[in-house]
Amino acid sequence: MTGGVSGLWSLYRMRLKRRRLLWRSIRSRRQLTQVADRTAQIEQDQVLAFVVLRNEMQRLPNFLTHYRRLGVEHFLIVANDCTDGSAEYLAQQPDVSLWSTDASYKSARFGVDWLTWLQFRYGHGHWCLTVDVDELLIYPHHDQRPLPALTQRLEATGAQALGALMLDLYPKGPLGSVSVGADADPIDALPWFDAGSYRAVRQAPMQNLWLQGGARERVFFPENPSRGPTLNKLPLVKWSRRFAYANSTHSILPPHLNNEWDGPPVISGKDQLSGVLLHTKFLPGVIERSEEEKTRREHFGQPDQFDAYYDAIGDAPDLWHPDAHHFEDWQQLARLGLMSTGGWA
C-alpha cells in the first residue's frame, strides 16, 4: 500500500510540475517579438523544427541544408540577442518563422520556456524536432529515408518519440587550429569521436535516463565524471499541448515519455530504433565563444562551478587520442552500438 500511495503522490507532483512549466512558457511569450511570421504555411502532417540560437552564422547555412534534406518543412526559431547577422539571415528564409528576444536565456530555462510556448501554439499534433544549431540528427537510413518515413515507422511501432545519443565530434590537433569555410560541412572539420566509455542510469521521479561519458567527460571532467555532460536526448516527439521538456531535451513530462528510449545498444543491449545527434561544438571559434560565455554566465545553473571547464577549453587542448574513431556513416555508428535500426530494414 505504501508503495502505491508513494507512486500516486509522485505522479501528482510530476503533473503539478508539468503544469507549472506550461504556465511559465505561456507567460514567456511576452518576451518574444515576432520578426517573420510564415506559420500560415504549416500543414497538418509536416515535421516542424524548433530552435533557440545566438550568433550562429558559422553553422546556419549547413544546419538548414541538413534538416531541409531530412524533410523538415518549417523552422520555428528564436534568435536570442544576436549580433552577427543570424536574425537578418533567418528572416529572409522562406521556410522560417522567426522571433527575437534580448531576455535572459538562463532565466527562460535556457530557452526551453520560449520553445515550449511555440510548441504549445504551433506543434500540437505534429512530429516536432527540437535541436540546437550545433546538433545534426542522423538515424538509420537517413541518407535515403526522410523524416516522414521515420515518423511513420515510429508510429507503426507505437512510439511517441525518438531517442538519440549526443555524440561529441572533434578535430585532430589543438582546438581552433582547423579552418572551416562559410558553407562547409562541420563534420569535415570535426571527423573524430569516442565510441566507448558510456554509461546510463534511470532517475526518479521523472523516470528520465541519465547518460554520460564520451570525449568531453574524458578530457574536461576526468576527476569528477559525474559533472560531465548529459548525452541522452529525445529530440523528436509527436507533440501534444500537454507535453513540456523539463531539462533541455534530456527529459520530458509526462514521465512515461522518458521510457520511450533506454539508451543506445552499447548500454541497453536493446535493438530499439534510435538516432545520433552529431555535436559540432568544437568548430573554430569555440575558444573565443567559451571566453564570452564564461563572462555572460547564461549557460549553466551554477556557472561558477564551470569556470575551470571554460578555462580548459581556452587552453586549446587536443581531444584526439589513439582510440578515437573517424566518422564514416550511420552504419558505422550502428556497428559500434551507438544507434540501432530497431529492425527497420
> With 70 as the cut, is the pLDDT of residue 301 above it?
no
How far is the C-alpha of 184 from the C-alpha of 250, rounded, in Å? Answer: 29
Average of pLDDT values for 285-308? Answer: 72
Q: What is the pLDDT of residues 165-198, one digit of tens each?
A: 999 999 999 998 877 776 789 999 999 999 989 9
- What does DSSP assign to residue 283? S
Q: What is the pLDDT of residues 10-27, one digit of tens each?
A: 899 999 999 999 999 999
Name the CATH topology of 9-335: Spore Coat Polysaccharide Biosynthesis Protein SpsA; Chain A (3.90.550)
Q: What is the pLDDT of residues 111-128, one digit of tens each?
A: 999 999 999 999 999 999
- What does DSSP assign to residue 318? B
Looking at the chain, the whole-number percentage of residues with pLDDT higher than 70 is 95
Look at 11-20, 57-66, 235-244, 288-297 and tell me which has the smallest mean pLDDT.
288-297
> With 50 as the cut, is the pLDDT of residue 1 above it?
no
Domain boundaries, the chain: 9-335
Average pLDDT of the chain is 94
pLDDT of 305? 59
How far is the C-alpha of 245 from the C-alpha of 254, rounded, in Å? Answer: 9
Collapse the DSSP code of 331 into the 3-class scheme (helix H, G, I; strand E, B; otherwise coil) and give the result.
Answer: helix
Question: Nearest 10 degrees: CA dihedral of 77, 47, 250, 334?
Answer: -130
pLDDT of 182? 66
C-alpha cell recorded at residue 148: 516522414
Helix axes 286-296, 307-314, angle to 10 degrees: 160
pLDDT of 308? 85
- Please check whether residue 230 is in contact with residue 250, taking contact to mean a CB–CB distance below 8 angstroms: yes
Q: What is the pLDDT of residues 265-279, one digit of tens each?
A: 999 999 999 999 999
> With 70 as the cut, is the pLDDT of residue 227 above it?
yes
- What does DSSP assign to residue 230? P
> With 80 as the cut, is the pLDDT of residue 4 above it?
no
Task: Give the confidence band of 34 by pLDDT, cuts at 50, 70, 90.
Answer: very high
Please classify residue 4 by burial: count the beta carbons closer than 10 Å to its beta carbon, then call 0-12 exposed, 13-18 middle and 19+ buried.
exposed
pLDDT of 298? 61
Looking at the chain, the whole-number percentage of residues with pLDDT higher than 90 is 86
